[in-house]
Amino acid sequence: MSVTAAPWDRIEGKVQSWHLDRLAVVYVRQSTPQQVIDHAESTRLQYGLTQRAVDLGWAPSRVLVIDEDLGHSASGLVDRPGFQRLVSEVGLDHVGLVLGVEMSRLARSGREWHQLLELCALAGALLADPDGVYDPSEHNDRLLLGLKGTISEAELHLIKQRMWNGRIGKARRGELAMPLPVGYLRLTDGQVVKDPDEQVQTVVRLVFDLFDELELINGVLRFLVDHGIQMGIRAREGPEKGLLVWRRPSRILIQNMLRHPAYAGIYVYGRSRTDPRRRVPGRPCTGRVRKPREDWLVCLPGMLPAYIGMEQHERNLTRIEANRAHALSMGALRDGPALLAGLIHCGRCGTRMTVHYQRGQGGKLWPKYECSRLKADYGGELCQQLSGACLDRFVTALLLAAIAPAAIEVSLAAAEQTQHRRQEVDRIWHQRLERADYAVDRARRQYQLAEPENRLVVRELERSWESALAGRQQLSEEYDRFAAARPRSLTAAEREQIRALAGDLPALWQASTTTDSDRKRLMRHLIEKIRVTVLGDSERVTVQVTWAGGHQTDGEVVRPVGRLDQLSYFPQLAARARELAAAGHAAPAIAKTLNAEGFRPPKRREHFGAQGVRELLRELGCISQQERSLRRKAQPLGPDEWWPSDLAREIGMPRVTLFGWITHGWVTARQQPDRRRSWVIHADPVEVERLRRLHRLPRGHGARQPWLYHQEMAIIHNEKGAHGNDGEPQV
């Protein structure tokens, strides 16, 4: 009959002398900080394992306690510095024994548990709990440890499942206590009410009123900062937990307020999820992803006291989404003179047109509307583009004409709104002063109730009273300065000025105090959409304005174009210019006649000048009498020689550009020995084709891609040298 060995015999067989030369590590952990407070006995038992290590043969000095993970979960979702330290010590062959009250204390994640087992097996380290000592290198012990790890992981799943079921059930009844936003307070019985502090409620309502008026988070933030308004927040942790503290406003705070459904009386749960892939190590609150409304787990309207209605909450969300800079939204109001940004749509493809600015003389910005979706997405050509100034003037005239009948009523409403806003801000200042008075009175009463003989306390209370008095005095002085700069009520002169401006809307529109953002905001309030279509490549542009409410206004504007042949009336203009030139009229007389008959030049010029007529006649092949006389007196041209006007017309380029090429040495030219030193250009058919290729290079090509520009220019110059008269390349 065989005798079964006692457990301690098995333990003594596993613990070798070289194990005792290493450390015995006691791993101490509790899942949450609250468990550390409530379950002190469990923590005491874990620390008591140091005696178990001594009983197994380790010297007390060779027992290491790792307790950095008190308050950290072992689910694998939270970083555990203590466990990482334990793994490092095992991997460095410093550990002979790892002790824990139960295996779930070490890890509830299968990945971490088997990683520890593998390292202990390679290093020869043992594991121990109150049931025994295990050698991970032995098959039976490894099987038992794996089973304990699986049971621990399954136990974690069951615990989470029970907690989740209870949590979601409570949330569906609207009873789960969630963190409350600014302006709300939870009573001891769990009921959620508006913050009883009147100033807190006033500031919350002011934030929503401002966004309803300004429609910009940055605008709300600037208003609060400019008027010295702070946000009242209930501290959630620390020594001030539950107390009301005042913080300066921030963009993220205002944005969260505008997005939070609680202000519309909606109780929600599950607005966000935690994505482990987006978590940042060492920052447990990261990795949260917002979910769309249809994916919220609980949404119960009417469960909370509301500051705003459902309709206003929906408008706020729509406005925030529209302020985002992407192709499907108008975007936020930004600085810049383009008044129709976000409203312009292409009449050809229907996409929203973008705004680009060109800097002109004196640094002035000139807007240009482009339909570049095809070019940006597929590398194609621009669908259409036009100058923004002409379109802005046209739509502005329509807008001012539309609001002119209601100008007086709008001005009075604006005056009332301005006065109401000033009264709200003044009310907040008085609430701050009332709070400061209470602080002074409270400090006074504390000082008076103290025993005069207890000088240790009286001196401190006296300093507190003096500090409260100084704060009250400083706040009063700040309010006096604020009231002097921004009076509570509009004066009679200010009201009369508003009425006078309402009678002259163009002057109000062009006033220096009216910003581009103000003009754009009015545009977006009254106009829903603008469709523009450039007719061919001409100067004519059809415009269709869709007003708020659905009414449409059609019109046509004239855009500036770069070339004469782009003008829709160019055939009539050319015929009339030839007729006047053939009749012997000089350029100034032709210009006067064309202007009188309603012809207009391209670009942004209002009328023809003498030089413009000369350029027109040169493009049409009409030589003036003066130039014809000069050519008769000049030396006859040789083979393949051109007058600059004739060559420019042959290539299809402006004559002034060709003179620029002469200056840069890009063409072979000589000057006649006449009084005017007229230029003559030598260009055979191959040279003419080379110059035509040079003219086709995009405008600004060298500025945008200098390396490609210089490469092409080098090729063109080499060709010029190869085909030149002298046979030598010219650079």
Decide if 641 contacts 671 (C-beta within 8 A).
no
Strand-strand pairing, 63-70 and 95-99: unpaired
Given a contact cutoff of 8 angstroms between Cβ atoms, the answer to whether 701 and 709 are in contact is: yes
How far apart CA 694 and CA 691 sit, in angstroms, is: 5
Neighbours of 452 (CB within 10 A): 7
Q: How far apart are CA 98 and CA 104, in angstroms?
A: 13
Take residue 654 and report the two structure tokens written for it.
Answer: 């402006």
C-alpha–C-alpha distance, residues 667 and 693, integer Å: 13
d(CA 326, CA 286) in angstroms, rounded, equals 26
Taking alpha carbons only, the member of 228, 212, 185 closest to residue 316 is: 212
- Smallest CA-to-CA distance from 303 within 387, 396, 184, 383 is with 184
CB 195 within 8 A of CB 183: yes
Bridge partner list, 273: 289
Q: How far apart are CA 333 and CA 516, in angstroms?
A: 9
Contacts with 400 (C-beta within 8 Å, 6 or more apart), sequence order: 505, 506, 509
Count how many residues are written for the chain: 731
392, 642, 683 from 639: Cα distances, Å: 53, 9, 9
**How many angstroms separate the most distant Cα atoms in the chain?**
141
Nearest to 160 by CA among 229, 73, 80: 73
**DSSP E strands: which ranges in 548-609?**
552-558
Cβ-based neighbours of 417, under 8 Å, separated by 6 or more: 213
- Cross-strand pairs, 298: 269
Beta-bridged to residue 384, according to DSSP, are: 371
Bridge-based pairing state of the strands 23-30 and 95-99: parallel
31 catalytic? Reply is yes
Out of 2, 17, 31, 517, the active site residue is: 31
Name the E strands within 489-548.
527-534, 540-547
Rounded distance, CA 483 to CA 413, Å?
Answer: 23
User: What phi and psi, each to the nearest 5 degrees, are found at residue 381?
Assistant: -95, 165
Tell me the C-alpha to C-alpha distance, in Å, between residue 616 and each of 411, 476, 563, 590, 606: 51, 74, 10, 11, 16
* Separation CA 53–CA 93 (nearest Å): 18
Query: 325's torsion region: left (phi>0), alpha (psi -120 to 50) or beta?
Result: beta
Q: Residues 665, 667, 672, CA angle at the centre, nearest 5°?
A: 95
Which amino acid belongs to residue 315?
A: R
Nearest to 387 by CA among 340, 347, 329: 340
Which residues are part of the catalytic machinery?
31
